[in-house]
Structure 1
Amino acid sequence: MTHDHTLPPLTVTLEAGPTGAGDIDDFELFYARRAVDRFRTLLGRQGLLDLLADDIEEGNAFLRESARTSGGRFKAGTTVLATKGLTSTAFLAWMDGAFAGDERALLAAHPEHYAMGTDAVGARVVENIGPHVCSFYMGGWGTDALDWAADADELLPESEFPRKMSSNLFLADGTVVGRALIQFGDTADGFTSALTVYLPSACPDEVLDHHLRHYAVEFRNWIVAAAAARA
């Protein structure tokens, strides 16, 4: 005689208590963001970088080796976001202001943003690439596509996506470890974002997929911040 030990799926539902809007996931997200902001503030930029120094060294070694074994070949993935209630012009104006010096707003968009700013090498980003904490630079960033972007399979029609920015991602020693191509096209009630990242072909697919999720989180939150800034 056999017994079916299959358990029903577990559910926990908030029935009463808090008066604020949202569910338990919303509450947890609020507290998680508040905790991350507290640690960032207490540690300060340099303190956080010092704390992550070993992780960064390991993460950059992963990217460097991935680039070496890939022999200049990349794999691409694209996250597409649809925004209603804000134009791409308004969003990109906010982004220009944030990248000009509002590091806190840039960091707040993702828990795994650790530093964003400019140093002697260039525009530096310290964030996770998959499970790896990495420190890299964005080069050639601008409205004019780089040579590689002009021939990219992911390049969308200028008539539909007139706002384009592309960049190489490279380590402090000059090793190119990725690329980015972001494109924006206005719609009747907002805009569409096509956010493409290129990683060395030797990187596991899971690393690429995690960065597509990373894109979704950070750009959604930047868009929300841009909309809130209008008030």
Structure 2
Amino acid sequence: MTVVGLISNRDETNYRSEVSRLAGWCSDNNLSLNVEKTKEIVVDFRRAHTQHVPLTINGATVERVSSTKFLGVHITEDLSWTDNTAALAKKSQQRLYFLHKLKRARAPPPIMYTFYRGTIESILTSCITVWYGACNASCRKTLQRIVRAAEKIIGVSLPSLQDIYGTRLTRKALCIAGDPTHPSHSFFSLLPSGRRLRSLQARTSRLKDSFIHQAVRKLNSLPNLPPRPPSASGTTEL
């Protein structure tokens, strides 16, 4: 369970009220909220950092951390993906050992390719649409070296992480743009011409490299935008 709160103008009232409502909901539904396992991470890019009062739940102080693991993705307070890259690289390199064992056992390339797709590529591309666009060049090279090592072992050409990212980004963007009920659907609004999506403004490269901005640019780079599904009123959106 995750609670996300936006603190603006140094007013933490809404954030702390949301946490209190969560604690109350757990109590009302006979659920025990383990504060010792609860972590708080504060993302703040301002030059003058504000000292936030420790968060408390039922009188116990919540531990504040600089990084945490959420659904398999390592998230840090500066939203850099170095820790996540290191974790993926370490886990993938361990799987290369078993690929070497298959090579020594003279397994045919199709078998090794299937093993690579299921045990190594699946790790390297886990939630790739979330972090790959914001990765620096060093992180991308680190992960791509593992792909090249697997290529030498198997003896066949493997899809690059950049290509996999582009394919999955397009598929995910089309899914959101075609689903009016999706929370992010409003970001994919068409211009009056109906040929391109409205570009999103971004004052920082961090925001520009985020998923939504990259997804909009990716769809605008397609030769033709896909047709929009019928709306709830039965008419087709153009």
Which TM bucket (shorter chain)?
Answer: under 0.3
**RCO greater where, 1 or 2, for CA within 8 Å and sep 6 or more?**
1
Larger radius of gyration: 2
TM-score, normalization by structure 1: 0.24
Task: Answer 1 or 2: which has greater helix percent.
Answer: 2
Task: Answer 1 or 2: which has greater strand percent.
Answer: 1
TM-score, normalization by structure 2: 0.24
